[in-house]
Chains A and B, each alone.
Chain A
């Protein structure tokens, strides 16, 4: 047990790359495109790109090349769909990575860059010290780098690229939309479904509790084994929320764990993905639980342990009518809601409860 915990800690400390940016000439393919249009992919390159995609690692390109010719070649090689927002121009590669960082909204430390030329790697490392710069290497070796090996590959990981592409289309639509925010949200035809977490969901649930950039009321993390027990426990309710809209799926974006105590339901964990906060759907899961608790006639309490990232969750609780009841644990608090004012779900989203 202790060994496993130590191993888990070590795994958490390896940085995880969320986006790999490729150079092309002499890195992804042999030769220089503008010198010889018949460049051939390096050994196992296509497999590497597809495998990384399967693992949920986003990929892009930073190449000093002619845009049309390059895109044409990527399409010919059947790989163009795997690269988000390819940066193909004659400016610095560090500027390409900055553009990607802003567009994809990922931390710079989650970027890796692979290029055969030391000059390019140094240029990028100089401007962005946090980026993992890699030499062009046999691609088999690339695939076993710990930084490129996620702990778990879930359905959401496999679809990550597609989800980002939907996000880009959505963001473009939002930019162009002329009208109030609520009308834009209504135009998305959002559907949120809430269901008890089943076996297939648990890996994604574990992933959500481990990812530190989620909005999380207590910061508790649970191993897969613990989650399995909880999902089968009659004293617990583990719910997972997914969201889709007309542009596609957002994936599983919310999680709640309720413990049925003697005189109250205790919300031990409420977690929302930051991605959906701007959709105004952050409190739907909470409202659903409050409604269920009211129907059962039980009291409803929630645990809150502040950290440097989760004040938004405290505000969510307060604005949903929770009041501080008593302190708890190390700097935490138990909040209680008298359930006198359980709000309605917002009109612009359809909520499906599958229980």
Chain B
């Protein structure tokens, strides 16, 4: 299954936040979306996920949806978006409850997703009892339980502390390399993008347009190795140069809203 974004633009009233975005995400591909704040990264993700109607352009898929996928485009949210009144298991189950599944398959899917993320022993805990990292793991288990074809990840690590972020990044990688789920990964963290993505799409400041597409030519498994560091540092500098000036402008902006 391939995601095709063609000429997508979006405006909130008078304010154009996205303009003429063309983008493709192939099966199993991990694409990071970076850019200064207010460049419409999250807006684009919402449009792709069908939560927002674009002002112009189209979003479509080509190719068959993988068998067993109940929700091909599945979000992982920055604020986790867990229901505080449901346990870990209940939150994961929420994604399946409106699908006509046999009770046994439902149980099996939930158990598998919880086990995959290492949450089995926390199944009866409420979100407030969990650390931020564990809450986001619940968010990921909930996404996996529907067997997504494309994960839409909206700054999934930015609410977490630095150490938890490192841990979860490794888990994302293991997950992607194991299951070959494609991902569109919004972040403002260059290191995250460089660690995880096959390609990095750089958006310009408002209105967000694609400024450049930077492939990361090193396989993910090798990126932690010392040998890769020089090349990654060079890419980091290149990316930072391309967004630095706009990030400064965005930083000094007064928002009237």
Physical interaction between A and B: no
Interface residue ranges, A against B (CB under 8 Å): none
